[in-house]
């Protein structure tokens, strides 16, 4: 599977059969000055219904939207959504969130959306995670410390941080350096990586991608 970070929480996942899935498309505006998403997709997943995660209409290609938990098929990709919360108060402040797990050719990639708590209860149901796309910016989501606890809980081999402060994001959250500081297992890569079950690192790594937009 190819994993391309578009910006914010939006990724383009290109499966081994060519299926293209965009996660959590944002709507550019005053506080989000990333460029518009120009990558066409076959499917779009939406973790929750906030403007910086739900702009399905802004994704070219007239993709089919997956907005619910449970089992779904995106052509040859199995997609499973797990209910969780956008805060650490059972959704009382910001509502629900969905963790989506994409399985392609034996590889399991999890997109955690705007996760607001360490998913202790959900981890058993989620099972093995090979690559985790994890929010690390805090305030609206889990903070860097909770993101590390979440990665350890899911026993993921690769963590790709998302939803953090950049020069194109005006939200009151922290940058990825708060998540990566002090860790030797950090790789800084381009906008896209290709990963398979056979190419996973032997020990956990953090892969920091560049936003494409």
User: 27: domain CATH number?
Assistant: 3.60.15.10
pLDDT for res 84: 97
Cα torsion 70, 50, 115, 101: sign: positive
Instruction: Give the chain's radius of gyration (CA, Å).
Output: 15
Distance CA 79, CA 101 (A): 6
Cβ atoms within 10 Å, residue 166: 17
H-helix or E-strand spanning residue 84? strand 77-85
pLDDT for res 45: 98
Tell me the HSE value of 171 on the side-chain side, using a 13 A CA sphere: 22
pLDDT for res 51: 85
Range of the domain at 204: 2-208
Residue 67, domain member (yes or no): yes
DSSP 49: S
Predicted TM-score (pTM) above 0.95: yes
H-helix or E-strand spanning residue 177? helix 177-180
Residue 84, domain member (yes or no): yes
pLDDT for res 95: 82
Residue 79, domain member (yes or no): yes
Number of H helices and E strands in the chain, helices first, is 3, 14
pLDDT along the chain (213 residues), means of 10: 98 98 95 96 96 94 98 98 94 92 98 97 96 97 98 98 96 97 97 98 98 97
Residue 213, domain member (yes or no): no
Q: Quote the number of domains for the chain.
A: 1
The distance from CA 142 to its chain's CA centroid, rounded to whole angstroms, is 13
């Amino acid at each position: 599977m190819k994993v391309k970070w578009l910006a914010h929480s939006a990724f383009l996942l290109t499966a081994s059969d060519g299926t293209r899935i965009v996660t959590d498309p944002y709507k550019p505006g005053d506080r989000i000055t990333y460029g518009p998403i120009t990558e066409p997709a076959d499917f779009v997943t939406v973790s929750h219904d906030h403007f910086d995660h739900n702009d399905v209409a802004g994704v070219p290609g007239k993709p089919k939207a997956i907005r619910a938990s449970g089992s779904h098929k995106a052509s040859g990709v199995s997609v499973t959504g797990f209910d969780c919360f956008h805060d650490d108060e059972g959704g009382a402040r910001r509502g629900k969130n969905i963790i989506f797990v994409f399985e392609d050719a034996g590889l399991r990639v999890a997109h955690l959306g705007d996760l607001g708590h360490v998913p202790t209860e959900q981890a058993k149901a989620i099972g093995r995670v090979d690559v985790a796309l994890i929010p690390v910016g805090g305030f609206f989501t889990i903070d860097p410390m909770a993101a590390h606890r979440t990665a350890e809980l899911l026993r993921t081999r690769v963590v790709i941080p998302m939803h953090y402060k950049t020069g194109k994001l005006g939200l009151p959250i922290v940058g990825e350096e708060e998540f990566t500081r002090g860790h030797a297992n950090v790789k800084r890569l381009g906008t896209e990586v290709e990963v398979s079950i056979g190419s996973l690192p032997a020990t956990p790594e953090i892969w920091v991608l560049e936003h494409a937009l």
